[in-house]
Structure 1
Amino acid sequence: MKRYFNTPFFIRLFNWEYWNSTIVYAPIYPYYAWLALKARSFMFLTAANPLIKNGGFIMESKKDVYDLIPPQYYPATLYFEAGTPLEIVSRGIEEKSLTFPLIAKPDIGERGLAVKKVNNVAELEQYITHMPFAFLVQEFVSYENEVGIFYCKPPGAARGFISGIVNKEPVTIVGDGLSTLEQLVRVNPRYLLQLDHIAAQQGEQMRSVLPVGESLVLVPYGNHSRGSKFTDHTHRATDKLNESIDRICSQIPQFYYGRLDVRFLSWEALERGENISIIEVNGSGSEPTHIYDPEHSLLFAWKEIIRHWDLLYSISKENNRRGVKYIKLSALRSDINAFKQIDASLSARVW
């Protein structure tokens, strides 16, 4: 019976964190509609971060967002248009003094889609060949710890604050000296959902056996959709950490609402704002991803989403009062369609 229920269908059925977002959000969409009615715009969220395209709701360029961040806080990054020859990419890497492994990812995208750790020139060439859109090549940050820190700052306020922290545990296998990688993946419900992707990445190594106690990171990205376990660490939002994050975010012009994905050496260093690297900054389309802690109920998730929608509404409303225009849904239609095409195209490929 246990083996019967350890299948992707039942894992998803009995764990809401894997449900389709439309199903999760459907019961609380009326609340968003109420906020939109008060704002007199369904797309009020586009005013949250005036210097980020669409407020960071959709189709924002990662490169453009990085350009707003002081360079000491994010990995060295190169931007390339689709179809850029390998020799030009390699030249840029050399000029930037970057070394393998590197991270390659699309300039526009979400949920960790098409993000890949490339270990050598051959893997980089393969990525470039398969990538039909503009992409980034980025320094690989080796810090083992990764969190998502949700930050809010009312326009005009002296300080911002942390509204949520999620700790990200990447897909990591620990050997028992007997089981193959595939067997170890299959017995872990969270990892089983990623089996096809992991198998495509690991190839023949899936048949290998790790020695007892030896660990192997199979997916080195802190993305829930790629198998990472998310746990709620909001209790770590100390005054000292709030001060450090506010000091950093205050250097990002007109950034009022969103989530920072951060890799860091230790919690003590993070509190000091040292030995950290901001992997990405997400704007008004951000989720408070600490809701995906397996210990949290769906009711908790709804409460947290609504709390953040309230914050988003008040920030956007104040920016609008200060002259930032809400983008009309009709004007966004082409961006929404373009994003759907990008998402579909990237999802259809094996990365």
Structure 2
Amino acid sequence: MAAGLDFGVDTGRLAVVRECSVLERMPKWLICVPLVVQWLWLSLRYGGTTVPSAANPHLTSGGLVGEGKLEYFRGMGPLARSVTADYCAVFNDGTATEDSLRHTMANGGLAFPVVAKPDLGLCGYGVRLLPDMAALLAYLVVFPRGETVVLQRYLPQEGEAGIFYARDPDTGKGRIIGLALRYFPRVTGDGRSTVAQLVAADVRARRIARSPRHECSVPPDSVPAAGQQVRLATIGSTRVGGLYRDGAALITPELVRAIDAIARDMPDFRFGRFDVRYQSLRELGAGRGFTIMEINGAGSEAIEAWDPDTGVVQGFRMVFAKQRLLFAIGAAQRKAGVRPIGLLALARLNRRQNRLVDRYPPSN
């Protein structure tokens, strides 16, 4: 493991060196400028702006945008399914009843609590932990009609990681090109301050109050005991104060073999990120003891670049390297006969997804 980093033993927690990275503090539009410039250059080099959509031909747009979570799950073979959290799908047509929902959940092997998430989503928008049937029915009332909700077994493990996988376009060898450890937003009590006061005093945690599409389920006027850590969200996105750390030191041959076997148990999956929960970093490094929550394709972000210990130049290098490899894989797939999506079709998918995100219930 990298020197100077305290990865802990079983909890997977990592001490915060700085509160926010430079990339986190930069406006999104400013971050996008160099990435768009590189994308355009790669488009000229490889002969098309949507070449990356050919990387995963069995997914809508290769997973760039507009694909559903169920697309990844339904194509899995027995090995990949065995390490994926149980789930079921609910099409929200307004006719669901308590009996029908219980039947659907039972068929999926689910019991409360469950995590509800939009089939078509991003960045944790619309993701809620639901403790009971009343909460599920209330969620469906405000969820967009005609869209699908994924219900998934709640994974209580504190450890969460994003494992970035790619299959070399020349050799066909699968490898892990990045690993991010994700930490949930939390505050530590002092025995005097309320949760609201602790959040207001924390540069990272206060993002929860600024996020209009997130509800903190912790009572704001509660007073945690001195030293008590209070988790503030079900999701670990940076938009609500989550922390990403570069876990490249955990990439071992054992983990590479495990992830490569899972990826090969999916139809022609060559590029993307596996988001997993784990109990122990030692088990994760050994390639076992983890459960897949969801998978992202060609549009996956190199979130390890948001580590507060990663400088802005190195962070951009990480993202640039990911985009170069994505284009190379897409070009190899195109050469093998895969047809990339059209630019207008991609724009329509992006517009639809963004419109839906604005209509989802708040995350928690």
Structure 1: distance between partners of 2:266 and 2:72: 9
Give me the identity figure in percent: 27
Deviation at 1:331, TM superposition (A): 2.7
Structure 2: distance between partners of 1:96 and 1:247: 24
Residue 216 of structure 2 is matched in structure 1 by 201
Deviation at 1:33, TM superposition (A): 0.9
Residue 64 of structure 1 is matched in structure 2 by 71
Q: Does 1:104 find its partner at 2:116?
A: yes
Among residues 31, 37, 41, which one is paired with 1:24 in the alignment?
Answer: 31
Deviation at 1:268, TM superposition (A): 2.5
Deviation at 1:18, TM superposition (A): 4.0
Deviation at 1:333, TM superposition (A): 3.1
Residue 168 of structure 2 is matched in structure 1 by 154
Residue 284 of structure 2 is matched in structure 1 by 270
Residue 134 of structure 2 is matched in structure 1 by 122
Residue 272 of structure 2 is matched in structure 1 by 258
What one-letter code is carried by the residue in structure 1 that aligns with 2:217? Q
Output one character per residue of 1:108-137: Cα deviation in whole Å (capped at 9) or x when no partner. Answer: 010000101111222112111111131111
Contact 1:240 1:272 (8 Å CA) reproduced: yes
Residue 324 of structure 1 is matched in structure 2 by 338
Structure 1: distance between partners of 2:298 and 2:164: 11
Aligned CA distance change for structure 1 residues 257 and 280 (closer, same or farther; 3 Å): same
Contact 1:41 1:328 (8 Å CA) reproduced: no
Contact 2:211 2:239 (8 Å CA) reproduced: no
Q: Does 1:336 find its partner at 2:350?
A: yes
What one-letter code is carried by the residue in structure 1 that aligns with 2:303? T
Deviation at 1:156, TM superposition (A): 6.5
Residue 3 of structure 2 is matched in structure 1 by none
Residue 6 of structure 1 is matched in structure 2 by none
> After the TM superposition, which residues 1-351 of structure 1 pair with which residues of structure 2 at under 5 Å, given as runs?
15-69=22-76, 70-82=80-92, 83-87=94-98, 88-132=100-144, 133-155=147-169, 157-195=171-209, 200-202=215-217, 205-346=219-360
Structure 1: distance between partners of 2:170 and 2:47: 22
Residue 6 of structure 2 is matched in structure 1 by none
Deviation at 1:238, TM superposition (A): 1.8
Aligned length: 338
User: Where does the alignment leave 5 or more consecutive residues of structure 1 unmatched?
Assistant: 1-10
Structure 1: distance between partners of 2:83 and 2:29: 34
What one-letter code is carried by the residue in structure 2 that aligns with 1:78? C
**Bigger helix share:** 1
Q: Secondary structure at the match of 1:345?
A: coil
Deviation at 1:154, TM superposition (A): 2.1
Contact 2:22 2:312 (8 Å CA) reproduced: no
Deviation at 1:306, TM superposition (A): 1.0
Higher mean C-alpha deviation, range 309-318 or range 96-105:
96-105
Contact 2:255 2:288 (8 Å CA) reproduced: no
Deviation at 1:16, TM superposition (A): 3.0
Output one character per residue of 1:17-40: Cα deviation in whole Å (capped at 9) or x when no partner. Answer: 143433202024222111111221
Deviation at 1:239, TM superposition (A): 2.0
Deviation at 1:84, TM superposition (A): 4.5
Structure 1: distance between partners of 2:363 and 2:237: 16
Q: Secondary structure at the match of 2:126?
A: coil
Deviation at 1:202, TM superposition (A): 2.9
Structure 2: distance between partners of 1:63 and 1:350: 20
User: Where does the alignment leave 5 or more consecutive residues of structure 2 unmatched?
Assistant: 1-18
Deviation at 1:42, TM superposition (A): 0.8
Aligned CA distance change for structure 1 residues 19 and 344 (closer, same or farther; 3 Å): farther
Higher mean C-alpha deviation, range 235-244 or range 58-67:
235-244
Deviation at 1:336, TM superposition (A): 2.3
Residue 4 of structure 1 is matched in structure 2 by none
Q: Secondary structure at the match of 2:268?
A: coil
What one-letter code is carried by the residue in structure 2 that aligns with 1:85? A
Aligned CA distance change for structure 1 residues 272 and 67 (closer, same or farther; 3 Å): farther
Aligned CA distance change for structure 1 residues 310 and 156 (closer, same or farther; 3 Å): closer
Aligned CA distance change for structure 1 residues 28 and 333 (closer, same or farther; 3 Å): closer
Output one character per residue of 1:244-272: Cα deviation in whole Å (capped at 9) or x when no partner. Answer: 22222221221111111111121222234
Aligned CA distance change for structure 1 residues 314 and 253 (closer, same or farther; 3 Å): same
Q: Secondary structure at the match of 1:248?
A: helix
Q: Secondary structure at the match of 1:207?
A: coil
TM-score normalised according to structure 2 size: 0.87
Q: Secondary structure at the match of 2:85?
A: coil
TM-score normalised according to structure 1 size: 0.90
Deviation at 1:97, TM superposition (A): 3.8
Q: Secondary structure at the match of 1:277?
A: strand
